[in-house]
Structure 1
Amino acid sequence: MNESRTILLAGASGFIGTALTAALASDGHDVRRLVRREPISPVETQWQPERRQLAPGALDGIDVVINLAGSSISQLPWTAGRRTRILESRLDATATLVDAITASPTPPSAFLNASASGFYGDRGDDALSENAVRGTGFLADVTARWEAEAQRAAAFTRTVLLRTGIVLAKGGGAAAPLVPLTLAGLGSRLGSGQQWWPWISLVDEVRAIQHLASEDVHGAVNLVGPTPATSEQITRGLARVLRRPHLFALPTWLLRLPLRDAADELLLSSQRMLPDQLMKSGFRFTHDSVGAALAMFDPRPPSEDAHM
């Protein structure tokens, strides 16, 4: 986005939301944040998505609404109550914003709503563009309902569904639990290691969302890197960058003991996603290979590389 815009962001305190807020503000945009507590700043607006409540006038003067809100899927195990929370937190947040958009006399020019790679389920080696049909499983069911709720806004504003993969970043994201294990010399292959993990760097995740906020793109967009990688390529690549061994193999049955069925959907499912719509819209990646994305985990100061 070249011109300054006023953006309403839900989920601003999350891993991606924090980085996105900083990037938007750095580019000169006016970022308003939705919060559940009492606002303590003029840029904060209160909402209670579990009650489908949003402060009156929250969309007044808003150019773009970005919704990243939803309960984390990394809190394990997935008990019945936890599954309900994962689903309802997404539906409630999205419905609250969509209802506000549809009721607004001056709706925003764009609505970007989070989604996830789980939409595709476990698909083996299939190449998955945005036209691929949904898969099966708990996360596929959640994302299908989530996207259907968001699509209600499409009659009123340009609506984009952000199907995000595994976000790689130093200090957070899906790779965070792997780093201390790898540093301890416990880098491991997970299951067969041949399952495709749909990765993207945090830098490109944020840049892609900024790009989609202004480009004339509608519907589902795969937010993943342009060169697919298997889980073993990622875990072995991380070990290489951290200069640690990658000697172990954790069989499927062992992963399922603590994680139960979440192991199948979070670690063992295969999604060879391709960012077709993103690249067609003219987006260019900062990290176009998983090796480039994993290089950020290198603990050496950049100056050391210059002398190699």
Structure 2
Amino acid sequence: MAQTVLIAGASGLIGTEVTTQLRKAGHEVLSLVRRPTTNASEFTWSPQAGILDYNLLDRADAVINLSGASLSKLPWTSSYKHEIHDSRVDATRTLAQAMHHAANAPATFLSGSAVGFYGDRPFDTLTEESAKGEGFLVDVVVDWEAEANKAPEATRVVTFRTGVVIGPGGAMKPLLALTKAFLGSRLGTGAQIWPWISLHDEAAAIVHLLTSDLDGPVNLAGPVAATSDRLTALTAKDLHRPYKLAVPEFAIRALLGDAGQEMLLSSQHVVPAKLVADGFEFRDDTVEKALGALLGS
């Protein structure tokens, strides 16, 4: 059944692919933008100021929230940490509050989240039932998801926890640029597990959740775990570049601080338990397939 879906963050890496897949499936997509509108499907809002025409929520069967400052913008200065936190919390709060003012709240609220919730857990297998970890991103995710869960009681809320999205932007953008420049490197020991997912499957999972009965946190990560070294080495191989350099952990921490520790050195074996149990089928079920789809190998 076709739905009208309101998306915050539709112009980003994930939002663009989600929009494409939704329209291909026959859904109508409305987009929230922070600039002047350019067509009838766009509507302005100001999440930082809490400004959103709540009447728009009456038109939407579902809301997808993908707003948030990029985690791959480095370094994480003190001011940028505030932006990472506030951009997510403010946008989610504004959407949830608008739903309460709507005459008919949307039936579904799919709100972005992150595997950063679990922190550095090298010895654990992490499902949606796992406890939160420790760290800056943990605190961000806790506050972020708390705002999503303030949506009206009648609205089904899903907070989808995403890992490294293998696509042409986001966390892969600097990795691809460095590898193309013959600077592909092992990061730390390389043994840390990175929870990855292809851009196609990230969007497909979100579209799946639109018509699913799942609620609460849902892990969006590929079903076959991969180490940092495996991902970076495969990237170099697919780009026909050497892979002989190594950056020690102390250098990563010294140069990038919390961003280096939490984005590059943390180990998280995240399992998409709820998604798989719900019948979702990954197109790219290994990191080799995900990189192959991205790089054409």
- What TM-score results when the alignment is normalised by the length of structure 1? 0.93
Select which of 123, 130, 133 maps to 1:132. 130
- 2:196, 2:287 within 8 Å by CA — same for their partners in 1? yes
Q: CA deviation at 1:173?
A: 2.7
Cα displacement string for residues 80-128 of structure 1 (whole angstroms, at most 9, x for unaligned residues): 2111111111111000110111222211110000000111110113100
- 2:165, 2:198 within 8 Å by CA — same for their partners in 1? yes
Select which of 155, 158, 180 maps to 2:156. 158
Equivalenced residues, count: 297
Cα displacement string for residues 51-92 of structure 1 (whole angstroms, at most 9, x for unaligned residues): 111024111221010000011122222222111111111111
In structure 2, what is the Cα distance between the partners aligned to 1:226 and 1:168? 14
209-218 or 151-160, which deviates more: 151-160
- Give % identity: 48
In structure 1, what is the Cα distance between the partners aligned to 2:214 and 2:152? 12
Select which of 3, 7, 10 maps to 2:8. 10
Structure 2, unmatched stretches of 5+, are none
Cα displacement string for residues 17-57 of structure 1 (whole angstroms, at most 9, x for unaligned residues): 11111221222211000012232321111211111110241
In structure 2, what is the Cα distance between the partners aligned to 1:299 and 1:143? 34
- 1:222, 1:276 within 8 Å by CA — same for their partners in 2? yes
Select which of 54, 59, 62 maps to 2:60. 62
In structure 1, what is the Cα distance between the partners aligned to 2:177 and 2:72? 17
Cα displacement string for residues 5-27 of structure 1 (whole angstroms, at most 9, x for unaligned residues): 10000001111111111221222
- After superposition, the CA RMSD in angstroms is 1.3
In structure 1, what is the Cα distance between the partners aligned to 2:172 and 2:48? 30
Aligned to 1:279: 276
Cα displacement string for residues 133-177 of structure 1 (whole angstroms, at most 9, x for unaligned residues): 0110000000011001111126231000010000001x2232221
Aligned to 2:264: 267
Aligned to 1:293: 290
Change (3 A) 1:45 1:194: same
In structure 1, what is the Cα distance between the partners aligned to 2:54 and 2:177? 45
Aligned to 1:25: 23
Does 2:220 align with 1:223? yes
Aligned to 2:191: 194
- What TM-score results when the alignment is normalised by the length of structure 2? 0.96
